[in-house]
Amino acid sequence: MARKFLYVVAVLIVLVLAAAFAYRFYGVQLMRQFMVPGGEAVALPPPDRAAYARPDMWIARPDKPGNPALWTPAGYQPASTPRAAVFFIHPTSFLDTQTWNAPLDNEDANNRAALFLRGQASAFNSVGAIWAPRYRQATFGAFLTSKASAGKALDFAYRDVLAAFDQFVGEAGDRPIVLAGHSQGALHLSRLLVDRVAGKPIAKRIVAAYVVGWPVSVTADLPRMGLPACAGPDETGCILSWQSFSEPADPSLIVDTFDATTGFTGAARRGTLMVCTNPLTGVPGGAAGAEANLGTLIPDANFQSAELVTGRVPARCEGRGFLTIGDSPPDFGQYVLPGNNYHVFDYSLFWANVRKDAERRLAAYKP
């Protein structure tokens, strides 16, 4: 019996190694094959005009009990009287392959989104009260295909984000505003900057916009987004953006899609530089050693909590604008994407520096 058990263990080890090999060398192809929904996107009605006046439409808002954005690691606390208002758009947390957009009551997607707020939006709870809407997000597979349904699904999701932002502006009063998002949330934020901020009076109230985990073309996007890229560590009214990879980095999953699209200016994005802010310094480009990292969130096994560790991860901008973090940190498990893409951890790798960055820019902000 013991020998039979050992045979089973050996077979399982071989299967795991084979799966790891396939993921490493064919990860993108496998994801495209198994994660993209097969049917057409179903047209969604626009959100009700008063939908986001309801507290249940928000994952985080100042009056929400159990607000996940108020989580902090040991040694940190949210501001008791936050000066600013923060609008945070969470990343993709819906992984279904049967439908293109998440139902608002999908428990798995909502629970994952709350986890993302704990590790991402929490970086801003020392500067502002945080609003983070639920929205009918596009599923993960929408980012792996050029099917027309993928674009439709993203457009449906973006309508919800716009409705939530309009409600947020009404509730934020006259406070300074921090905008932030990640991945799909950063994509929607980049569009929101074009539609709701560029050329409008509210632009003067923006402390900074953190468009993280989504590429922003310096020439084909930025001129239409209403704010420049941040050029200094205490500049206000500007955009920060980065995308994290360990070495050797293979950003082809991003580049292939990015280069096939047109920017907000109408110009092609192909071959253009991307905005790359070094989150350790708050300035574009350059390099900073691990000693400059004030704290990386290292998640526990079930991602329910995290420990803040200093001096763990360096950062430097390279090539067309990708952020490299040196050799792969050993603490992040199976959520590293193909190409050594640390996309899921774009905020948590630099959590304490992002927090300090927002505090520094808010201190420099003048109405």
pLDDT digits (tens, 9 = 90+) for 14-35: 333 333 333 444 455 555 555 6
Percent of the chain with pLDDT over 90: 74
Query: What average pLDDT does the chain have?
Result: 89
Of 85-94, 264-273, 282-291, 303-312, the range with the lowest mean pLDDT is: 303-312
Q: How confident is the model at residue 337 (pLDDT cuts 50, 70, 90)?
A: confident
Instruction: Answer for the pair 238, 208: CB distance below 8 angstroms, yes or no.
Output: yes
pLDDT (tens digit, 9 = 90+) per residue, 80-106? Answer: 999 999 999 999 998 888 898 999 999
* 205-243 per-residue burial string, b: 16 or more CB within 10 A, e: under 16: bbbbbbbbbbbbbbebbbebbbbebbeeeebbbbbbbbb
Cis peptide upstream of residue 248 (ω within 30 degrees of 0): yes
The pLDDT assigned to 217 comes to 98
Enter the pTM of the model. Answer: 0.90
**C-alpha span between 104 and 3 (Å, rounded):** 50
Strand, coil or helix: what is 250? coil
Rounded to 5, what percent of the chain is helix, strand, coil? 40, 15, 45
The pLDDT assigned to 6 comes to 34
The pLDDT assigned to 121 comes to 98
Q: How confident is the model at residue 8 (pLDDT cuts 50, 70, 90)?
A: very low
Q: How confident is the model at residue 303 (pLDDT cuts 50, 70, 90)?
A: low
pLDDT (tens digit, 9 = 90+) per residue, 137-196? Answer: 999 888 877 788 889 999 999 999 999 999 999 999 999 999 999 999 999 999 999 999
Percent of the chain with pLDDT over 70: 89
Q: Which residue carries 């099917």 as its tokens? A: 147
Closest C-alpha among 52, 42, 39 to residue 87 = 52
Q: Is the pLDDT assigned to residue 7 strictly greater than 80?
A: no
